[in-house]
């Protein structure tokens, strides 16, 4: 194929001045990387990449193409994790084109070769970008999961009384997690009173209310009483406007009131020393 | 068919379900329990379902019904040792087991029956 022989010629030409080219490439990448990595690291990374690029440009090495893509994927993934912007990541690849262009600028006979080379680099750049985006998506998914775990602590208020402070928007997945954690905690601690504090819940709609009611019902089946506290004034308004009935579930204004109520149910009370 | 034994401890009938509940064994248990309640005039029934991992709507309804039957003999039913997964299932099924009281474990269930009823 025409392009292949072009690429091969280009590879042979570049291989002769690989060291110079690497140096120029590394300089270009470093100027655009805001000092996020050291010059040595960049040079090592790019050295590997350049070898793979040159190998994949010659037909003799079929594996090199795959290896090059894997190496680029690894590079963009690690850059995505260490906070590079997408264009900074793609720059690592595109800078090679600039570097090579400087070398062949005055060699008019290398134009078709340079075009073929340029097309290949564009391709690799796109690949880098795609992996970068995928890595970012992965990070976001991980963070969402971590946040879900973080946002549902179960704390022990007193012997036999536990509290679940809910912070953030409640959705089905989260309420399910809250329910499971609360029930497990009831079982593990042997508590017979649970306080669900919704001070940090910004909005309540019928669905959220339904979820809360279900949680309370499930806790009741386990033999524990549930109190809901910390309903904000606006939310109280919404709940009444929506016609949501909390039935016989005890609701208290603040966590302190709920604790006092739970203590009194357990036959305890707090008094001055 | 497996039969669930009913033990009488003082004024309380104690039922510990250690088998996978089948529909017919639940019905059998209900009948046995009614017989026992009539014969012993017990004040309370404790049903321990610690070992029960799976329930369906029929069994859930039967448990609720057992509570209503016991009430006719002036006995209170306490369901103890329910697992979280079972509780979630029953709630999803929309069964809140009205007429049946619940406690975390057998000890607390006995306390509930022994005391004034406030636990």
CATH topology of domain A155-265: Transcription Regulator spoIIAA (3.30.750)
Q: Among A191, A217, A222, whose Cβ lies nearest the Cβ of B96? A: A217
The shortest C-alpha distance from A138 to chain B (Å) reads 30
CATH topology of domain A2-146: Globin-like (1.10.490)
Task: For residue A229, give the nearest of A260, A207, A205 by alpha carbon.
Answer: A260
Q: Is the pLDDT of residue B119 over 50?
A: no
Interface of A with B (CB under 8 A): 179-180, 183-184, 186-187, 190-192, 214, 217-224
How confident is the model over B50-68, as pLDDT tens digits? Answer: 988 888 888 888 888 888 8
Backbone phi, psi, residue B43, to 5° = -90, -25
Contact between residue A95 and residue A29 where contact means Cβ atoms under 8 Å apart: yes
Contact between residue A176 and residue A148 where contact means Cβ atoms under 8 Å apart: no
Q: Which CATH architecture has domain B6-107?
A: 2-Layer Sandwich (3.30)
How confident is the model over A168-218, as pLDDT tens digits? Answer: 888 877 888 888 889 999 989 989 899 999 988 888 888 888 888 889 999
**What ipTM did this prediction achieve?**
0.74
Contact between residue A197 and residue A164 where contact means Cβ atoms under 8 Å apart: yes
CA distance linking residue B13 with residue B43, whole number of Å: 8
Lowest mean pLDDT among A68-72, A105-109, A220-224: A105-109
CB contact under 8 Å between B119 and A224, yes or no, is no
DSSP codes, A188-231:
HHT-SEEEEEEEE-----HHHHHHHHHHHHHHHHTT-EEEEE--
CA distance linking residue B42 with residue B9, whole number of Å: 9
> How many C-beta atoms lie closer than 10 Å to residue B18's C-beta?
12
* B76-80 sheet: strands from edge to edge: B6-9, B12-16, B44-48, B76-80, B101-103
pLDDT category at A19 given cuts 50, 70, 90 is confident
Longest dimension (CA), chain B: 38
């Amino acid at each position: 194929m025409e392009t292949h022989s072009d690429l091969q010629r280009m590879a042979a030409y570049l291989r002769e001045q690989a060291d110079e080219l690497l140096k120029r490439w590394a300089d270009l990448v470093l100027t655009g990387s805001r000092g996020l990595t050291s010059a040595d690291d960049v040079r090592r990374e790019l050295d590997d990449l350049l070898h793979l690029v040159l190998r994949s440009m010659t037909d003799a090495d079929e594996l090199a193409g795959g290896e090059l893509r894997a190496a680029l994927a690894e590079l963009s993934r690690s850059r995505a994790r260490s906070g590079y912007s997408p264009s900074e990541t793609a720059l690592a690849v595109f800078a090679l084109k600039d570097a090579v262009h400087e070398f062949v600028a005055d060699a008019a006979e290398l134009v078709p070769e340079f075009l073929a080379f340029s097309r290949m680099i564009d391709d690799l750049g796109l690949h880098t970008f795609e992996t970068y985006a995928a890595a970012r998506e992965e990070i976001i998914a991980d963070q969402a999961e971590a946040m879900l775990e973080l946002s549902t602590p179960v704390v022990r208020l007193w012997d036999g009384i536990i509290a679940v402070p809910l912070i953030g928007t409640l959705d089905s997945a989260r309420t399910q997690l809250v329910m499971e954690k609360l029930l497990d905690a009831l079982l593990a601690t042997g508590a017979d009173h649970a306080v669900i504090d919704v001070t940090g819940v910004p909005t309540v709609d019928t669905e959220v209310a339904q979820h809360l009611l279900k949680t309370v019902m499930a806790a009741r089946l386990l033999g524990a009483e549930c109190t809901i506290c910390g309903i904000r004034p606006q939310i109280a308004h919404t709940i009444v406007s929506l016609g949501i009935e909390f039935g016989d579930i005890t609701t208290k204004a603040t966590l302190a009131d709920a604790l006092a109520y739970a203590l009194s149910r357990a036959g305890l009370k707090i008094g001055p020393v | 068919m497996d039969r669930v034994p009913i033990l009488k401890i003082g004024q309380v009938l104690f039922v510990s379900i250690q088998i996978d509940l089948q529909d017919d064994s639940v019905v059998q248990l209900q009948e046995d329990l009614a017989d026992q309640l009539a014969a012993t005039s017990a004040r309370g029934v404790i049903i321990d379902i610690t070992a029960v991992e799976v329930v369906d709507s029929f069994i859930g309804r039967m448990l609720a019904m057992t509570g209503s039957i016991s009430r006719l003999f002036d006995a209170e039913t306490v369901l103890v040792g329910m697992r979280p997964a079972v509780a979630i299932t029953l709630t999803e099924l929309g069964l809140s087991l009205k007429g049946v009281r619940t406690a975390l474990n057998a000890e607390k269930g006995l306390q509930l029956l022994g005391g004034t009823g406030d636990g």
